[in-house]
């Protein structure tokens, strides 16, 4: 109500040709007081929006802390397995003569891989001589036609 009355006074004084500085100062002071009171209401600790944000924050924390713990646990297990594998790996230099001593162990060796039997895809009748494995990836695409008549 105060703003409408001041705006009405401002309009009347402007129409009469009287100085407007007094009414403008009153109007700006009233707007400042109104905005300050609304800011105080919005920053109050007991505002309903703040309570909902607090509840959302607690719910997020209830999910975030176990997720962080599970992620760290998984990374610790991976670190443990990699260090154990590094300690137990057998470095083998001769790739032509496998030994029974290395059976069921993690063996690291380097060499040239070769096959005596060519890899064959029977469906497409394709042969590859110097390949170890053949993988067929199939994609199915479908055309969907939409007709519109206007």
- Is 138 a member of any domain? no
> Residue 14 has what pLDDT?
44
- Domain enclosing residue 31, as ranges: 1-43
pTM above 0.75, yes or no: no
pLDDT, tens only, 130-141:
888 888 888 999
- Is 87 a member of any domain? no
- Is 19 a member of any domain? yes
- Is 35 a member of any domain? yes
pLDDT, tens only, 82-100:
999 999 998 877 777 788 8
Q: What is the DSSP string of 66-121?
A: HHHHHHHHHHHHHHHHHHHHHHH-EE---SSS--GGGTTS-EE-------SS-EEE
> Residue 62 has what pLDDT?
95
- Is 27 a member of any domain? yes
Query: How many structural domains does the chain have?
Result: 1
- Is 22 a member of any domain? yes
């Amino acid at each position: 109500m105060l703003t409408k009355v001041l705006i009405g006074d401002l309009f009347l004084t402007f129409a009469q040709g009287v100085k407007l500085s007094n009414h403008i100062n009153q109007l700006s002071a009233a707007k400042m007081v109104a905005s300050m009171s609304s800011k105080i209401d919005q920053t109050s600790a007991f505002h309903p929006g703040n309570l909902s944000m607090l509840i959302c924050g607690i719910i997020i924390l209830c999910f975030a802390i176990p997720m962080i713990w599970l992620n760290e646990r998984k990374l610790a297990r991976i670190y443990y397995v990699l260090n154990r594998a590094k300690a137990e790996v057998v470095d083998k230099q001769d790739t032509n003569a496998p030994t029974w001593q290395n059976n069921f162990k993690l063996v690291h060796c380097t060499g040239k891989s070769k096959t005596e039997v060519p890899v064959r895809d029977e469906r497409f009748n394709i042969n590859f001589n110097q390949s170890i494995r053949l993988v067929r990836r199939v994609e199915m695409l479908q055309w969907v036609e939409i007709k519109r008549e206007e």
